[in-house]
């Protein structure tokens, strides 16, 4: 019989996708909000050109750029729901007014997720065959798994932009930061302490 126990928290990552005008006008203030909410950012990519799909072009504008952020403070795995709900609120707060859209048209797309030693899980508000329901309208998307032998493993449903070698390299850097944090916490924890950070 297995004995239920709390898993080690994950590293919060956030993909921020927006057009150039949003980055110029809104990014500095929003970055400050993120620091207050989630604590120090220990990884921040430069703006990365996003041209993997035209899906967001009409809504967000062009040209699109994305930043990948990693936060130093770890998040309990079941905390991903609250993070996704908060980023949904942030998307609405940054929306532009629109005649036919009750919440306006989005100006930024925010995709939070958690990295653990084994996987990258993104949060989604949409159901799909490989997604697991977490609660409060939020689903867990198993985006990629990590294999010590081959690194990040692309799954049949992995988003094409996450399957790139550049993204895998960035995720490996984020995973290394996470591993260092977890190992440091394990070394400093008294014997018998809860594994949860």
Q: Could you say which DSSP state residue 40 is in? A: -
Measured CA angle at 83 (ends 29, 126), to 5 deg: 115
Q: What is the pTM of this model?
A: 0.90
pLDDT at residue 190 in the model: 62
Q: Do 83 and 110 touch, CB atoms closer than 8 A?
A: no
Q: Do 107 and 19 touch, CB atoms closer than 8 A?
A: yes
What is the per-residue pLDDT across 106-145, written as a single tens digit (0 to 9) for each? 999 999 999 999 999 999 999 999 999 999 999 999 999 9
pLDDT at residue 115 in the model: 98
pLDDT at residue 98 in the model: 63
Which ranges in 10-76 belong to alpha helices (H)?
20-25, 27-38, 57-60
For 63-137, where are the E strands, in sequence order? 64-75, 108-115, 119-124, 131-135
* Element (DSSP H or E) covering residue 60: helix 57-60
Q: Do 167 and 120 touch, CB atoms closer than 8 A?
A: no
Residue with tokens 């770890």: 74
pLDDT at residue 193 in the model: 47
What is the per-residue pLDDT across 63-87, written as a single tens digit (0 to 9) for each? 999 999 999 999 999 999 999 999 9
């Amino acid at each position: 019989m297995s004995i239920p126990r709390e898993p080690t928290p994950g590293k919060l990552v956030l993909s921020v996708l927006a057009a150039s005008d949003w980055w110029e006008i809104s990014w500095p203030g929003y970055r400050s909000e993120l620091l207050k909410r989630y604590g120090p950012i220990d990884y921040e990519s430069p703006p990365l050109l996003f041209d993997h799909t035209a899906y967001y072009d009409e809504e967000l504008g062009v040209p699109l750029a994305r930043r990948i952020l990693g936060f130093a403070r770890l998040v309990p795995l079941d905390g991903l729901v609250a993070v996704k709900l908060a980023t949904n609120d942030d998307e609405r707060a940054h929306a532009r007014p629109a005649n036919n859209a009750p919440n306006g048209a989005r100006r930024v797309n925010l995709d939070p997720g958690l990295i653990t030693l084994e996987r990258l899980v993104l949060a989604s508000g949409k159901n799909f065959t490989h997604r697991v329901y977490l609660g409060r309208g939020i689903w867990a998307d198993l985006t990629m798994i990590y294999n010590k032998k081959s690194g990040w493993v692309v799954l049949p449903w992995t988003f094409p932009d996450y399957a790139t070698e550049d993204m895998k390299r960035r995720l490996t850097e984020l995973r290394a930061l996470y591993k260092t944090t977890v190992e440091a916490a394990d070394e400093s924890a008294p014997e018998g302490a809860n594994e949860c950070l």
